[in-house]
Structure 1
Amino acid sequence: MGRIILQNDNVNLDTNKKQTLTTGFISDRDILKNRSKKYLALIVGLDAKTLTDTKEMSEFMRAIQEEFGTAELTSLPLGIVAKCFLGHPYEVHTLDLSGSQIIKHYKATETMEADFEKARTVAQHNAYAMVEIYKDKIILIREDGTATKL
């Protein structure tokens, strides 16, 4: 019979408990889960609303944090590119989540930042509601909330 060499009163040998990961890292599996209707409506509604009020912007950022849970800042999207419905001459709009949370609408002739420009054509396609831009990947989000890695 084995004996315990190290005495530690905090040892929990109950293997029936489900452990939760608290590091804040988001795996590709987590990134590809369906997006909530609330999150989709929030992003789609950017054309209809202006988030000039500090309260509106804080509510907006809280909704995004709810969608991604306890993810570390490095695991969150740099930003989101979506089709713009303001009409001609605007094509797409971006939501920069990397620090300033700026919403910007781009005309057909304007160039975007390099990370966002690569998602521009896909964002204009009717098959997708938005495109999430990460530092190392692009995630396409359909209107039903399903996600696909590009």
Structure 2
Amino acid sequence: MNKIEVVFFILFFSIFVIPFTASSQETKLEHELLFEMTALLDEPIEIGESPMGKRTIYPVSGGTFSGPEINGKVLANGGDWVLMIDSLTEKLDVRAVLETSEGEKIYTHYGGFIHWNTDGSYYFRTNPVFETSSKKYAWLNYTIAVGVGELIEGGVRYKVYKIK
């Protein structure tokens, strides 16, 4: 190989081969339990059919949350603005305020879905986002989280995981 061929080979290798080799390494998504939460719901408020789907609002009447680093109660001032977009899929739009055992307030909002299977089972996932002025819990402002939901009598229960 002459010098031009060597330079061309190195250039080609560094542009096209090295990036694909580095990006093909497996990236593991790690998570850990942030908290478990139970939210109690009041009687639903039916808005009815619109061009977007059938809207029902479920007011939050309270609840609790508990985890390795944080625990407290769910205040009775939020709700879930559910949109039934087809016969099997509910789109969630939730807003709530959490109050820690130290009295710190944390606003959370999340979207998500409940998708019903024909056998009665369901897929229930959310993506909570947190906002707080608390210095102790400021890390929540930058936490990516995923909730796995479960319907219970009188409310919902979540296991919320932070993505590391």
Greater share of strand residues, 1 or 2? 2
Q: Which has the higher contact order (CA 8 A, sep 6+)?
A: 1
Q: Which has the larger radius of gyration?
A: 2
Greater share of helix residues, 1 or 2? 1
TM-score by length of 2: 0.29
TM-score by length of 1: 0.31
